[in-house]
Amino acid sequence: MKLKGRLKLIYDMIPQCDTLCDIGTDHALIPAYALLNKRCRRAIATDMRKGPLVQAKQTLKAYNLQSIMDLRLGNGLEAISMDEADVIVIAGMGGVLITELMGNQLDKAKKAKRIILQPMYAQEVVRPFLWQHGFTVIDEALTREGKKLYQVLAVVYDETASAPCMKDHLYEVIGEGLINNRDPLLEDWLCDRIKKQRKIVNGMRSAALPRPNLEQEEELLRDLESLRSKLFNNRGM
């Protein structure tokens, strides 16, 4: 089996561990690959729908992993117990759902050695949630599949973090880690986000209804543009 792109980046962020829990597994390719490469000793793959678990079962059979991977039907982290929360992957879902799944079972999320998150959209809701609940982003990176860029975050609960720490609006949408690591895809990510933000601002400016957030959205657009200029010397978009 070979993984590439998004799935490979998720796999690369998984540390050596005992039990890997893949929440919303669908095809179960991530835990299967982790087992085959001995990144973990056992795996639990969960999904809230039966259909994906049928697909996951086929992956298990194809690679003879039935004795070391459990398949479970259930909602989010409810499908695992407290002592099973070792390394958790929540990938391929929207940012809102990801924060709901973590928020609904916060004790389990806090107990994990590491959580790998891969929000497909609404990424900007994920970081404020993490900051509010004492999670720290310890690694993050981008990958490209065709035209689409994907972001993967590795987070840990940091019990020494005292008061909730809310950061700049800009860093809700562009991870500081991507800037610090000079991620090779950061400029593309920033350009995509600037285009999206221009659409939001232009849409608000032309709307007939009151636009209470317009100033805030304009400020975010200016911040994104100036970050891009600062990092990439005003190259044309």
Q: Is 175 in the site for ligand SAM (CB under 6 A)?
A: no
Exactly one of 93, 155, 221, 227 binds ligand SAM (CB under 6 A); that residue is 93
Q: Per rule CB under 6 A, is residue 25 in the interface with ligand SAM?
A: yes
When binding is defined by CB under 6 A, the residue of 31, 76, 119, 175 that contacts ligand SAM is 76
Measured from the CB of residue 118, what is the shortest distance to ligand SAM in angstroms?
6
C-alpha span between 98 and 9 (Å, rounded): 18
Please state at what angle helix 186-206 crosses helix 214-232, rounded to 10 degrees. 150
d(CA 101, CA 223): 31
Exposure string for 141-161, b = 16+ CB within 10 A, e = fewer? bbbeeeeebbbbbbbbbeeee
Nearer to ligand SAM by C-beta: 92 or 95? 92
Pick the piece of the chain touching ligand SAM (CB under 6 A) from 59-67, 92-100, 126-134, 144-152.
92-100
3-state SS class at 24: coil
Q: Give yes or no for residue 52 binding ligand SAM (CB under 6 A).
A: yes
CA angle, corner 133, sides to 130 and 135, nearest 5? 50
In the block, tokens 């695992």 appear at: 80
Asked if residue 119 binds ligand SAM (CB under 6 A), the reply is no
Taking CB under 6 A as the criterion, the residue among 9, 13, 23, 173 binding ligand SAM is 23
DSSP labels, 117-177: EEESS-GGGHHHHHHHTTEEEEEEEEEEETTEEEEEEEEEE-TT--S-----HHHHHS-HH
Residue 88 beta carbon to ligand SAM: minimum distance, rounded to whole angstroms: 12
With contacts defined by CB under 6 A, how many residues of the chain interact with ligand SAM?
16
Kindly state the smallest distance separating residue 115's Cβ from ligand SAM, in Å.
13
Residue 81 DSSP label: -
- Stretch in the footprint of ligand SAM (CB under 6 A) among 19-27, 152-160, 172-180, 208-216: 19-27
91, 116 contact by CB (below 8 A): yes
As measured in angstroms, the least distance from the Cβ of 72 to ligand SAM is 9
Q: Kindly list the residues in this chain that would bind ligand SAM in the complex (CB under 6 A).
A: 23-26, 46-49, 52, 75-76, 91-93, 97, 101
